[in-house]
Amino acid sequence: MKISIIGSGALGKTYGGLLSLAGNDVHFLMRSEYDEIREKGFFEINFSKEEKKFKIENPKTYNHPAKLPASDLVIISLKSNENKNIASLLSTCLKENTIVLIIQNGIGNEEWISQFTHQCPIICGVSIIGAKRVSPTLVNISSKGEIRIAPYKMEHKAFCEVIKNAFSKIPISLPVKEVDNFKEIRWQKLVWNVPFSSLSVIYNQDVTILACVQPYASIVMNLINEITDIAKSEGVVISQDYIHKMLEATKQGEPYFPSMYDDFVQGKEIEKEYIIDNVLKIAKKNHISTPMLSLIESHLEKQL
């Protein structure tokens, strides 16, 4: 299968690299790391818990989207704040029935990107993984987690099987779980992303501290309650059992900072529009009160 990776950061390198080791023809669109990877001729993916390291030799890398080939599968794994450029990024890699897998944070992603995919089937993806860029040629995976996928339109449900089959052949076990409602997996991820991403930036604390230590833990719960109310107004019920398991996993996991924090300290644009602003727009549309989220948004705005 011919695959194009749009957004070859830690996530794109990991999934694209593993898919290439499974025999697929994978093409990576890169920017700042293009020259170094071309010069060295490889990058590595290290799974620290499993003590496994995979070397991707001579990856097919490109520094311009027009050089990407027409592909059977396009994985969009770039930061959502770059979606404003998506039309040009997809200019050459789509053909009839190209599967477009969107693995991003936030909400509103599919609605925006679908304007530029020429009726190609879109699959929503959410990644539960601890992936960090150590250097241009090394990605470290502290927790491999899983990928959750759902069709953007139910008529395209069968294309989920193509993705599951592709990942079933990679050289390390990585569960791909399919659900029917794409909004469900988006809101489930937002229940975690909204509090932990935003508060890590505001308070300069890792996710374990935010989950365990007061007053941060109370603020986290207030935000979670507001997000579940907004999700419910969109027809998505997030159970207390799901929230409990999510918080326990965060408390017991390795201390780390979300990607929003990394972007902030590096002076990069953060994913505020899709993770915070779009959520507030939905709350306003559905008349859901969000005093804590509104306060968090104003704090973030002042820090940017």
Are both 62 and 165 inside the same structural domain? yes
pLDDT digits (tens, 9 = 90+) for 234-281: 999 999 999 999 999 999 988 889 999 999 999 999 999 999 999 999
Using DSSP, state whether 89 is helix, strand or coil: helix
More confident residue, 255 or 46: 46
Domain that residue 99 falls in: 2-180
Cis amide bond preceding 171, omega within 30: no
pLDDT at position 304 is: 80
Q: Are 125 and 15 in contact (CB under 8 A)?
A: no
Q: Among 180, 210, 237, identify where a domain stops.
A: 180
Q: Among 115, 147, 180, identify where a domain stops.
A: 180
Confidence bin at 303 (pLDDT 50/70/90): confident
Six-digit token string for 121: 């089937």
Are both 14 and 129 inside the same structural domain? yes
Is it the case that residue 297 has pLDDT exceeding 90?
yes
Six-digit token string for 249: 């996993």
| Mean predicted lDDT score pLDDT of the chain | 97
pLDDT digits (tens, 9 = 90+) for 126-178: 999 989 999 999 999 988 889 999 999 999 999 999 999 999 999 999 999 99
Are both 172 and 243 inside the same structural domain? no
CATH value at residue 297: 1.10.1040.10
Are both 81 and 123 inside the same structural domain? yes
Are both 123 and 195 inside the same structural domain? no
pLDDT at position 244 is: 98
CATH value at residue 169: 3.40.50.720
pLDDT at position 170 is: 98
Are both 164 and 197 inside the same structural domain? no
d(CA 91, CA 70): 9
d(CA 11, CA 16): 8
Are both 162 and 220 inside the same structural domain? no
pLDDT at position 253 is: 85
Q: What is the mean pLDDT of residues 293-297?
A: 98
Q: Among 180, 213, 239, identify where a domain stops.
A: 180
pLDDT at position 130 is: 87
Q: Which amino acid is at 62?
A: Y
Per the structure, how many domains does the chain have?
A: 2
Query: What angle do the packed helices 182-203 and 291-303 form, to 10 degrees?
Result: 50
Are both 110 and 11 inside the same structural domain? yes
Percent of the chain with pLDDT over 90: 95
Confidence bin at 188 (pLDDT 50/70/90): very high
Are both 228 and 290 inside the same structural domain? yes
| Helical (H) or strand (E) element with 300 | helix 291-303
pLDDT digits (tens, 9 = 90+) for 20-29: 999 999 999 9
Are both 164 and 63 inside the same structural domain? yes
Q: What is the mean pLDDT of residues 102-122?
A: 97
Are both 142 and 210 inside the same structural domain? no
Using DSSP, state whether 285 is helix, strand or coil: helix
Are both 240 and 103 inside the same structural domain? no
